[in-house]
Chain A
C-alpha cells in the first residue's frame, strides 16, 4: 500500500513543487501587508477622525480607510519600483528620439531597490549558510561592521595599487576579517559548546564599539581634531564601479552578490564540504556516525558565514559610501535573519527575499514623504513576515493549505541546539 501512495506523491510535477515552495512566503508577505494595513490606519489622523464618526457616516470611514491604505502601498510601490507612467513616458521618448535625459530618473527608484538589496543578499546568504549547518548566526550585523572597517582601512591606506589588485584585495580583506570575527564564536561553540547565539550577539557589541572607537580615534578623518566620526574616503582604485550615469548608484556589488549566491549554492550542494555542513546541520549524530567532524564543520560554517556577512559591509563601503561611518548599516544584518528564513535558507530564496526586502526598505522612504506614513511600518511588515514564516502553521490554517507529506523544514533547532 505504501509504495502506491508514495508514487502518487512523487508524481507531482516539478513546477507544482516550486509553486508549493513559493506559496508559504508569498502568502506570508500578503498576510503581513494586510495586518500592517491596520497600523497604517492607526497612524493616519484623517482615518482616525473618520472612524470616530463611524456611526454617523460609516461609508465615509470605510472610503477614507481604503484610500489611506491605497495611498500608502501605492507610494511604497512607486518609491520602490518607480512611477509606471513616468517610466513608460521616458521609455517612449528614448525609443522615439534617443533622448536619455530623464530616463535615469525614471529608473532611479528601481535601481535604488537593487542597491539596497545588495547588502541584503550577502548578509542573507551568511545567515542561510549558518542555518544549513544548524547554526544561528545572529552576529551578521557585527560582521558587517568588521568587514566594512577592514575594507575601508585597506581601501584608503594602500596607495598606488592598480585597481585590479586593490579592488579584490580590499573586498577579500573585508571578507577575511568577517571570517575571523565569526570564526571565534564558531570555535567556542565547537570546543566548549558555548551557544553561538549568545556569542555572536556579544561579538556584535564588541564590533559596534570597536567601530565607534576606530571612528573616533585611529580611523577618524582629519585625526583627533576631525569634526565628525567618519573615516577617510577610500581610493578610487578600490571603488566597485558604478554601471550607469549619475545619479544612479547601481554598482557592480549587485552583480558580485549574485555571483557569490551562485557560488554558495555550488558550495552547499555540489561539494563534499557542503555535504558535510548540511549533514552536520540536519543530523549531527548521523554526521558523527559517518565520520564527519562536527566541530570542524561548525567552525568552517561560521567562518564562511562571517565572510559572507562581511562582504555586505565591504560592498557598502566600496560601492556606495566610499568610507566608514557610524550607523551606515540600518540593520542589514538583523533583517537578514528574517530574510534568510523567508528565503527558506536556500541561496535562490535568499536572493528573492533580499530583492523584496531591498524593495520594501527603499519604497518606505517614499511612502513616508508622500503618504506621511512612518517608515517604521516597513519594519512592522517585515516583523509580520518573519512571524508568519516562523509559524507556518498559521498560514496553512488561514489559507487551508495542505501539509505536504514529508517532514516540515526546520531551519534552526533553536536554543537547545
Chain B
C-alpha cells in the first residue's frame, strides 16, 4: 500500500531564515509518526504548509499517490487532513454539537440548523472511535482533555483520516495524557494516520511508531523507538551531547525566607483564584509548585511579587511583612522573579538587550545618579552579563525581539541572578524552550539553591518539578492539595493530586 502522505523536498524560506530545507517525510496508513524538534526547528512551518496556511517554495505534497496543491485549510480538510492546534479553536459558549458543525452547518428546511442530526452523527463517531464526548455539553464546562477530544471529533466529523496533533499534551495532566494516548491508539487501529508533533522525548518514545527529528529546518534522521533512546534523540535534536537529568546534591535547608499564611488572591474577574494557601520556603531549598495550568499558580506568583493585590492572609519575606508591599519594594528585599510569560511580562521586546538587562535596576547606581542615566555603565554591565550568561546575541544593542526564546530567557535570568538575591520565584522558567536551554536554566536554578537562595519553582511540567524540587506542593483549584518530600513523590501520586484526588493510604 502506498503511503497516505508524502512530503517530498519541501523547502520554505522566510526573509533571512530557511525554515524548511528539502524536508522528506512519509506517513504510512495507520501509523503514528512523531515529528520531534526544538522550537524553531521548522515543525510548525512544515505542518502549516501541509494545512494550507503557507505555500512551499520548493517540493511537493503527495496525498494517497496524487500530487496536490493545498491552498487553504478547507482544501486540506477536503483531502482528509485535519489539524488539532495547540490552542483550541472552540467557542466556549457553544455546545459540542454547535462547535462541531461550525463552518459546515447542516440545515433542515433550508434555514434551520439541524442540531439533532449532527448530534446523532457525533454519538456515532464517538462510539466508533472510543471518544467520550457529550454532544449537548457546553465547551466551557468541559475539562481540557475533553475539549481536545472535541477538536479531534471535529476533524473526524469532516471525514479526515490524516490527523496532525500539534503539541497535544502541553495542557494535559498525566492521566489525561494517558487517556489521549488510548484515543490515539484507537484511532490508528481504525485506519487513521497520525502526525504527532512534540518536543517531549518520553512521550514520543511511548506513542510513536516512527520518529523523525528536525533540526534547523532539516531532517536529521528517522528512527523507531525500539532503535533509539531518549539520550540519542536529544542528541539528534540539539546536535550535541545533552545531560537530561539534573545533577544535584541533597538540599541543606536554612532559615525560612518566604512565609505564606492563608493567602487569598483574586483574579481580574474578582474570582477567588488563590484560596487560603500556606507554605514556607527555606534558604537552600527548592519548593516546587505542581499543578495543571490555571489552578491559581499565576495569581499566587503575582500576589507574592506585588503585582496583584492580596485579598487575605499574609506574606513575609525574611521576616518583613510584604503583604501590602509594592513590586519595587519586594524586588528591593532581594527577590528575583522569572515571570511565567517572558515576552509579556519579563521583557520589553522593542528595547535593546542592554536596556532589558537593567529593566528593574535602571534607577540605581551605577546606572543612574538622580535622574541622569549613565549609558556607559549600562552598556558595560550588559557586555559583562552577555559574556557571563552566554547570551547569544549579535550585540547588546540588538532588540530583544530578535533573540531566540532561549536567549530571551537568558536575558531575564542574567538580569535577575546578577543582583544579590535571597529568594528566587521562577514561574515556568523553561516554557517553550529547547532542550539545550532547559538544561542551562535548570543548572542555574540548582546553583542558586546551593548558594543559599530560597527557590520557589512553579511549573506545570511534572518532569521539571520532579527533577528539581526538594519538596513538592500540588495546587488544585486555588488550594494546596498536599506537600510531599521529593523522594516520596511519584508522577502517579502527583497526577492524582493535580486532578484534585487524594491518593488513599
A positions within 8 Å CB-CB of B = 1-3, 5-10, 270-273, 275, 278-279, 282-283, 285-292, 402-403, 405-407, 409
Indicate whether A285 sits within 8 Å of B345 (C-beta atoms), given known contacts A2-B392, A275-B373, A291-B360.
yes
- Given contacts A273-B371, A286-B347, A291-B328, is CB(A405)–CB(B307) below 8 Å? no
Contact A288 B327 (CB under 8 A): yes
The DSSP consensus for interface residues of chain B is: loop
- Chain A residue nearest to B328 (CB atoms) is A291
Q: Would A279 and B359 be within 8 Å (CB), given that A407-B349, A407-B399 are in contact? A: yes
Closest 9 CB pairs of A and B: A291-B328, A10-B394, A290-B360, A6-B394, A271-B371, A291-B327, A290-B359, A283-B348, A282-B348
B417 to chain A, nearest CB (A): 16
CB–CB B345/A289 < 8 A: yes
Q: Given A7-B394, A289-B337, does the pair A270, B345 have CB atoms closer than 8 Å?
A: no
Query: Which residue of the partner chain, among B216, B327, B393, contacts A1 with CB atoms under 8 Å?
Result: B216
A6 touches B393 (CB 8 A): yes
* 8 sampled A-B residue pairs with Cβ under 8 A: A5-B17, A271-B371, A272-B363, A282-B350, A283-B349, A288-B307, A290-B359, A291-B329
Assess the A272–B371 pair: CB atoms within 8 A: yes
CB distance from B188 to the nearest CB of A (A): 35
Kindly provide the distance from the CB of A16 to the nearest chain B CB, expressed in whole angstroms.
15
What CA separation (Å) do A338 and B84 show in the bound complex? Answer: 44
Collect the chain B residues with CB atoms within 8 Å of residue A5's CB: 16-17
Instruction: Verify B349–A271 contact, CB threshold 8 A.
Output: no
> How far, in whole Å, are A3 and B392 apart by their CA atoms in the complex?
7
C-alpha spacing A287/B360, complex, angstroms: 8
> B394 to A9, Cβ gap below 8 A?
yes
CB distance from A2 to the nearest CB of B (A): 6
A288 to B392, CA, bound (A): 27
Docked pose: A350 CA to B306 CA in angstroms: 38
Known: A272-B363, A275-B362. A406 touches B402 (CB 8 A): yes
A406 x B401 contact (CB < 8 A): yes
- When A2-B404, A289-B346 are in contact, do A405 and B16 touch as well, CB less than 8 Å? yes
Q: For residue B398, which residues in chain A have a CB less than 8 angstroms away from its CB?
A: 6, 10
Chain B contacts of A272 at CB under 8 A?
A: 362-363, 368, 371-373
Closest A residue to B332 using CB positions: A291
A4's closest neighbor in chain B, by CB? B394
Contact in complex: A291, B326 (CB < 8 Å): yes
Q: Are B401 and A407 in contact (CB under 8 A)?
A: yes
A289 / chain B contacts, CB cutoff of 8 Å: 305, 307, 327, 337, 339, 345-346, 359-360
334-371 of chain B: CB within 8 A of chain A: 337, 339, 344-351, 355, 359-360, 362-363, 368, 371
Beyond contacts A9-B16, A270-B372, A289-B307: 13 other A-B pairs, Cβ-Cβ < 8 A, are A1-B216, A3-B394, A5-B16, A9-B402, A279-B359, A282-B349, A282-B350, A288-B345, A289-B339, A289-B345, A291-B306, A291-B331, A405-B16
Instruction: Find out whether the CB atom of B345 lies under 8 angstroms from the CB atom of A271.
Output: no
* Interface presence of B395 (CB below 8 A): yes
Q: Complex: how many Å from CA A403 to CA B16?
A: 11
B40 surroundings in chain A (CB, below 8 A): 2
Out of A8, A10, A286, A405, name the residue touching B348 (CB < 8 Å).
A286
With a CB–CB cut-off of 8 A, which chain B residues contact A270?
372-373, 375
Nearest A residue to B326 via CB reads: A291
B503 at interface (Cβ–Cβ under 8 A)? Answer: no
B-side contacts of A1, CB under 8 Å? 216
B319 at interface by CB-CB < 8 Å: no
Q: Tell me, rounded to whole Å, the shortest Cβ–Cβ distance linking A193 to chain B.
A: 12
Q: In whole Å, how far is A4's beta carbon from the nearest beta carbon of chain B?
A: 9
Interface: B110 (CB within 8 A) = no
B307-333 contacts to A, CB under 8 A, are 307, 326-329, 331
On whether the beta carbons of A279 and B348 are closer than 8 Å, the reply is yes
Give which listed residue, B373, B392, B394, B402, contacts A271 with CB less than 8 A. B373
Q: Could you tell me if B347 and A283 are in contact, using CB atoms closer than 8 angstroms?
A: yes
Partner of A403, one of B15, B344, B394, B404: B15
In the complex, what residues of B have CB within 8 A of residue A282's CB?
A: 348-351
Inside 8 A of B337's CB, which chain A residues have their CB?
A: 289
Among B329, B344, B375, the residue within 8 A (CB) of A285 is: B344
Give the Cβ gap from A37 to chain B, nearest Cβ, in Å. 33
Q: Which B residues touch A2, using CB under 8 A? A: 40, 392, 404
What's the minimum C-beta distance from B455 to chain A, rounded to whole angstroms?
Answer: 19
Chain A residue numbers with a CB within 8 Å of B339 are: 289
Instruction: Determine the residue in chain A with the shortest Cβ distance to B362.
Output: A275
- Per-residue A-contact encoding for B362-390, CB less than 8 Å = 1, 0 else: 11000010011101000000000000000
Inter-chain CA distance A180–B16, complex, in Å, is 49
Once the chains are docked, how many angstroms separate the CA of A137 from the CA of B307?
A: 27
B324 → A minimal CB distance (Å): 15
Query: In the assembled complex, which residues on chain B have CB atoms less than 8 Å from the CB atom of A9?
Result: 16, 394, 402
Contact indicator B15/A405 (Cβ below 8 Å): yes
In the complex, what distance in Å separates the CA atom of A282 from the CA atom of B404?
20
B residues less than 8 Å from A283 (CB atoms): 344, 347-350
Chain B residues numbered 198-233 whose CB sits less than 8 Å from any CB in chain A: 216
A405 contact from B350, B373, B402, Cβ within 8 A:
B402
Chain B residues with Cβ under 8 A from A290's Cβ? 327, 331, 359-360
- Among A1, A283, A287, A289, max chain B CB count under 10 A is at A289
B394: A residues at CB distance < 8 A: 3, 6-7, 9-10
In the bound complex, residues from chain B placing their C-beta under 8 Å from that of A6 are 393-394, 398, 402
- Distance, CA A285 to CA B404, complexed state (A): 21
- With A291-B331, A407-B350 in contact, is A286–B404 under 8 Å at CB? no
Q: Pick the contact of B359 from A286, A402, A406 — CB < 8 Å?
A: A286
Rounded to whole angstroms, the CA-CA distance of A272 and B369 in the bound complex is: 9
**B345 touching A286, Cβ below 8 Å:** yes
Q: How far is the CA of A3 from the CA of B345 in the complex (A)?
A: 25
Q: How far is the CA of A188 from the CA of B327 in the complex (A)?
A: 23
What are the residues of chain A within 8 A of B306 when measuring CB–CB? 291
CB-nearest residue of chain B relative to A409? B350
Query: Bound state CA distance, A405 and B17, in angstroms?
Result: 10
- In the complex the two chains form, what is the Cα distance from A7 to B398 in whole Å? 10
Enumerate chain B residues within 8 angstroms of A278, measured Cβ to Cβ: 351
Assembled-state Cα–Cα distance A275/B331 (Å): 18
Whole-angstrom distance between the alpha carbons of A347 and B327 in the complex?
Answer: 32
Set of chain A residues within 8 Å of B346, measured between Cβ atoms: 286, 289
* Contact partners of A275 in chain B: CB under 8 A: 355, 362, 373
Smallest CB gap from A11: residue in B: B394
A406 touches B399 (CB 8 A): yes
Residues of B near A10 (CB, < 8 A) are 394-395, 398
Chain A contacts of B372 at CB under 8 A? Answer: 270-272
Alpha-carbon separation in the docked complex, A65 to B241 (Å): 72
User: In the complex where A10-B395, A271-B372, A286-B359 touch, is A402 in contact with B348 (Cβ < 8 A)?
Assistant: no
The smallest C-beta distance from A144 to any residue of chain B, in angstroms, reads 28
Q: Which chain B residue shows the least CB distance to A283? A: B348
**Which of chain A's residues have a CB closer than 8 A to the CB of B327?**
288-291
Q: Which residue of A lies closest to B337 (CB)?
A: A289
Give the Cβ gap from B215 to chain A, nearest Cβ, in Å: 10
Q: Is the beta-carbon distance between B15 and A402 smaller than 8 angstroms?
A: yes
> Chain A's nearest CB lies how many Å from the CB of B30?
36
Minimum distance in angstroms from B407 CB to a CB of chain A: 8
- Which chain B residue shows the least CB distance to A404? B15
Contacts of A407 in B (CB 8 A): 349-350, 399, 401
Q: Give chain A residues whose Cβ lies under 8 Å from the Cβ of B395.
A: 10
Q: In this complex, what residue of B is CB-closest to A5? A: B16
